[in-house]
Structure 1
Amino acid sequence: MKQDLALVMALASESKGLFEQENIAVHYSGIGKVNAAFKAFEIIQKTQCKTLLNLGTAGSSVFNAHELVEVTTFVQRDMDVSPLGFEVGVTPMDPHFPSAIQLEPYFQDLPKGICGTGDNFEVNLPKVPCNLVDMEGYALAKVCKKLGVRLISVKYITDGANETAHLDWEDNLLLGAQKLLGLYQSI
């Protein structure tokens, strides 16, 4: 599987250089949905991969810190066109992917989650039902679906998506990178 797979993470701080030390090629998208969408498109075009593996960090008020969670559904927690009568999380006039994007599970032993993606560092309960939050996943999923590439996404829970999230995220990056590297090596 690894020969048809490309690995994407948002930031080098999420890998802490551990993947590079093991000679694993990592593509970094940068923060946010626009950067993630552009990088996913670029990776797929350049590598012709059949699977894009997204490893990264997320906050959650449901899952425990230090837990690995496989995302099986992505939603947009910041898409809000409710003044025009649309539900929060729904992209108006998008006939293919108006709200949730489903992914086929890959890891049998990991808990499964619904990830709310948005262009903000979430410290409150999102308006869209989800049990973990990130800033890139929905965009990666949408590009992959449109191009017919499988996306597998696993998030390391760094924080409780609350008022101390920014501190907890920073403090837990190394342990997260270690756990994500171990998971990658098990594929």
Structure 2
Amino acid sequence: MLKILVTYAVQGEFVELKWPDIEPYYVRTGIGKVKSAFHLAEAIRQVQPDLVLNIGSAGTVNHQVGDIFVCRKFIDRDMQKMKEFGLECEIDSSALLEAKGYCEHWMENGICNTGDGFLTELTHVTGDVVDMEAYAQAFVCRLKEIPFISVKYVTDIIGQNSVKHWEDKLADARQGLSNYLNVLKERI
């Protein structure tokens, strides 16, 4: 049985996996990079998963509410400003996923831009979606040599919507992610 650790930030993003031949575990990480990294590291220590699957909501600049992205590339927008000083701000989790043969048929590729602030004003953002946890989780998984992938449902357009709009769209995100994972994909 494949052990999959499913991470989500808030209860409104929780989706139960119904795939055959897996042993799913779930951890609510909380919002933000620090909480997320801590709770994920603790869960990895306890579960020792074969794969970490992050699911959740995200904002966007260039796409539409309801779009779903499978992210294997992650940018830390807070550290991006320090890139010129040699600090790392990008992670690509593709190699570990490919080595294990996981998620090869998941083609909705996207780049997730992570930071510790909820973006409500239009700014230059590198990537397809923005969140507050995925980069930190990708970082922990890379250190632990555990394959990591993130599936994000777009709930809000940066510069057009508010935190309230995000809260109102969580039910749609949960339904969209459940449909994507349990109907369209059905397997890892």
When normalised by structure 2's length, the TM-score is 0.81
CA contact (8 A) 1:89 1:128 kept: no
Kindly report which structure 2 residues correspond to 1:48-127, keeping only aligned pairs within 5 A, or say none.
48-79=48-79, 88=81, 90=83, 98-104=88-94, 106=103, 108=105, 110-127=107-124
Q: 2:61 & 2:108 partners in 1: Cα distance? A: 15
1:7 alignment partner in structure 2: 6
Q: Percent identity at matched positions?
A: 31
Pick which of 101-110 and 137-146 moved more: 101-110
Distance in 2, Cα, partners of 1:126 & 1:52: 30
Unaligned runs of 5+ in 2: 18-23, 98-102
What's the CA shift for 1:77?
0.9
Q: Say which is worse superposed, 127-136 or 60-69, in terms of deviation.
A: 127-136
Q: Is the 8 A contact 2:75 2:113 kept in 1?
A: yes
**Aligned-CA RMSD value:** 2.6
User: What secondary structure sits across from 1:19 in the alignment?
Assistant: coil
Q: What is the TM-score with the length of structure 1 in the denominator?
A: 0.81
Number of residue pairs the alignment of both structures matches:
174
Q: For structure 1, which runs of at least 5 residues remain unmatched after alignment?
A: 81-87
Q: Give 1:89 deviation, angstroms.
A: 5.4
Inter-partner Cα distance in structure 2 for 1:13 and 1:73: 24
Distance 1:13 1:42, change over 3 A: same
Aligned residue identity for 1:101? I
Distance 1:89 1:4, change over 3 A: farther
